[in-house]
Amino acid sequence: MNRWSYILVRVLQVIPTFFVVMALVFVMVRLLPGDPTSAILGERATEELIARANKELGLDKPVIVQFGIFVGRFFRGDLGESINLKVPVFRLILERMPVTLFLTLYAAILAVVLAVPLAFVAALRKDTLTDAIIRGVFQIGLSMPVFYIGLQLLTVLAARLRWFPVGGYGEGFWEHLRYLFLPALTLGFNLAAILMRNLRASILEVLQSEYVDFARAKGLPVSLILGRHVLRNAVISTVTLFGLNIGGLIGGAVITESVFAIPGVGRLMVESIFGRDYPVIQGLTLTFAVLVSLTFILTDVVHAQLDPRVEVA
């Protein structure tokens, strides 16, 4: 099987996965404690009002019938209407998704900027104090949950030193960069630690290979050896690991956007869960599933281009 057939197989594998996710999401959101009508009506909720609201929302029908309606609407491009906000779910996602995508991309770039040079420094200075410090700092960050890192950055750099805003999104590209720096660093630090450790180990392995020794024997400049021979071969496994962890960035945005009051889909997800807004939860979860699946496919494409050995499944 050539590499393009390999990629096509990966694309086809996404389709059944997506349908499984659709069914699981539909069932699991209905297992949440409480119900939308009680959340909407609050203290005014009576059995009569709840029954009337359930009928208006279509929640009085059997779950299998509700699922059939949901699937039918989905294939017509309709994700339903928010129970709480009374606006189409698709419109809500379109309004807030750019913020989350910007934050995720920002975090990914920061992770790469931190991981790649520090991995080279740590590998080239193996078992020195520099190597120990780099690995130690990232190990501390890797052992901390995302929300704790965010709270510490928010407390020290935003609230105490006032170097960055404490929350929000800002207006315009440059303000977006400034407002989202701390949230992006919060999201990207754990990923940077994972990438750094993996890339350092790969660099050390490649440095001991015969073709690198041959390149040194030919008298090639060190920069050329590191760039053309070492980095190209060492980065293959790191690219795969990077793609697999992008899903973690998207999931981490749910918490990070809440901590930093960012108006993205992550914060919308939290608000919808508390409000038992089934259509929004379903729509957002399916959107996350699509984004993660597309990221995995893109990772496979890049991996196939970097590694000529990807010829068979």
10 within domain boundaries: no
Parent domain of 105: 89-274
Rg (the chain; Cα; Å): 24
3-state secondary structure of 35: coil
How would residue 313 be classed by pLDDT, with cut points 50, 70 and 90?
A: very low
Please answer whether residues 103 and 253 qualify as being in contact, where contact means their C-beta atoms are separated by less than 8 angstroms: yes
245 within domain boundaries: yes
Q: Is the dihedral of CA 295, 301, 306, 310 positive or negative?
A: positive
Residues 6+ apart with CB under 8 A from 183: 103, 107, 150, 256, 257, 259, 260, 262
CATH code for the domain of 210 = 1.10.3720.10
32 within domain boundaries: no
The total of structural domains in the chain comes to: 1
Per the structure block, which two tokens stand in for 287? 């959107």
111 within domain boundaries: yes
Query: What amino acid occupies position 85?
Result: L
How would residue 41 be classed by pLDDT, with cut points 50, 70 and 90?
A: low
172 within domain boundaries: yes
pLDDT digits 0-9 by tens, 234-293: 777 787 788 778 777 877 777 788 888 888 888 888 888 877 777 888 888 888 888 887
Q: Out of 29-43, 63-77, 194-208, 247-261, which region has the weakest mean confidence (pLDDT)?
A: 29-43
Angle at 133 between CA 128 and CA 137, to 5 degrees: 155
312 within domain boundaries: no
What DSSP letter does each residue of 269-305 carry, written as one string? HHHHHHTT-HHHHHHHHHHHHHHHHHHHHHHHHHHHH
Angle at 284 between CA 17 and CA 268, to 5 degrees: 155
CA distance 73 to 79: 6
67 within domain boundaries: no
pLDDT above 60: residue 6 = yes
Mean pLDDT of 192-221: 76
Decide: pTM greater than 0.85: no
How would residue 312 be classed by pLDDT, with cut points 50, 70 and 90?
A: very low
Q: Which residue has the higher pLDDT, 57 or 283?
A: 283
Burial class (CB in 10 A: 0-12, 13-18, 19+), 213: exposed
63 within domain boundaries: no
Exposure letters 137-164 (e unless 16+ CB within 10 A, then b): ebeeebeeebeebbeebbeebbeeeeeb
